[in-house]
Amino acid sequence: MPMLAYSRPALFAVTLFCSAASLAAEPITICLGNTASPPFLFPNKEGTVQVLIRMAAEQQGLQVKFQPMLPTKCAEEIKAGTIHSGAAMGFTAANQEYAAFPMKKPGEVDTGKAVGAARSVVYRVKGSKADWNGSSFSEVKQGVLFAKGNSVFTEKLKALKVPFNDETATFQKNLLKMVAGQGELVIGFEHEGKLRMEEPEFAGKIEALPTPFTEAYYFMAFNKKYHDANAAQVDGLWAAIAKMRTNPAYLTAIKGIQ
C-alpha cells in the first residue's frame, strides 16, 4: 500500500481530528459518595441523579462512568483533575474554587440545569429542648451532627458559628448517635428522614423540626480544566440534563426509586 503524504496543515488537521475523536470516545468519569443518599444517589445501584445523567449523556452520544468514593476523596480527585465531574455538588464558595457549574451569568448559577433539589431537615429526640427556629440553634452543647462531605451544610453551619460534628459517614449512624445521647440534633435530607423514622430503632423516638435547614439545588459540576477543554460538550450535557428532567422516559425510569 502506498504511503500517504500530508502537507503540514493537513497533518495538523488530522491530528486535531484524531484527538477530538479520542476525547469524545473517552467516558466522563463521575464521582459520588460511597454511602447511599436516597433517592438521589446509591453506590451500588442507580438513583434518580445517576439515571438522569446517564440518559442525558446517552442523548448526547456520550458515555459516563460512576465511581463511588469517600466524599473527601471525591473532592480531591476533582481538584487534581483525575476525575472529570461530581454527580451532585452544591453551589458553595468552597466548591466554586475548583469546579465549574452551569451559569446564567457571572455569580448566578443556572438552577434549570441542576440534577435535582433537596430539602434538609433538623431532627431531635422527642422531648429534647434542642431547637432550630430557622435562623438559629438553641440548647446545643455537643454539636450538630451530619454526614461527612456535605459542603452546603458545612458552609451554613460555619456562617452561623455553630459547633458541628461530621465525622460519621451516614445519616442513619448519626441518628443512632443522637438516640444514644451523643448529640442533640441531626441534619439530614427530608426524603431519607421519612424512611428512617419508620425504622424500629427510631419509630416514636425522634421528630423532625418544622422549619427546613436548607433548600438547595445540586449540580453535575466539572473540574475546571476538563470544562475549559471541552466547553461545548459540557454545555451540551448540561442542556440535555435540563430537558431530560421533564422527559416522560426519565420520569418513568425513576418510578419506585427510594
For residue range 199-253, list pLDDT tens digits in order.
999 999 999 999 999 999 999 999 999 999 999 999 999 999 999 999 999 999 9
pLDDT of 23 over the 60 cut: no
Instruction: Tell me the pLDDT tens digit for each residue of 148-200.
Output: 889 999 999 999 999 999 999 899 999 999 999 999 999 999 999 999 999 99
Q: What is the Cα gyration radius of the chain?
A: 22
Burial class from Cβ neighbours inside 10 Å (0-12, 13-18, 19+) for residue 80 reads exposed
* Cβ count within 10 A of residue 66: 21
User: Cell 433537596 sits at which residue?
Assistant: 118
* Residue 120 confidence (pLDDT): 97
Q: Going by C-beta distance under 8 Å and a sequence separation of 6 or more, which residues neighbour residue 245?
A: 52
DSSP 61: T
- The strand pairing partners of 67, in sequence order, are 31
Pick from 142, 137, 202: which is nearest to 173 by CA?
Answer: 202
Phi, psi of 74 (to 5 degrees): -60, -50
pTM of structure: 0.86
* Residue 22 confidence (pLDDT): 40
Give the pLDDT mean for 21-30: 71
- Per DSSP, the three-state class of 86 is strand
Q: Is 130 in contact with 184 (CB distance < 8 Å)?
A: yes
Cα–Cα distance measured from residue 31 to residue 34, given in angstroms and rounded to the nearest whole number: 9
Q: Is 66 in contact with 87 (CB distance < 8 Å)?
A: yes
Of all residues in the chain, the percent with pLDDT exceeding 70 is 90
Structural domains of the chain ordered from first start: 8-115+218-253 (3.40.190.10), 116-215 (3.40.190.10)
User: Cell 446517564 sits at which residue?
Assistant: 54
CA of residue 249 relative to chain centroid, distance: 22
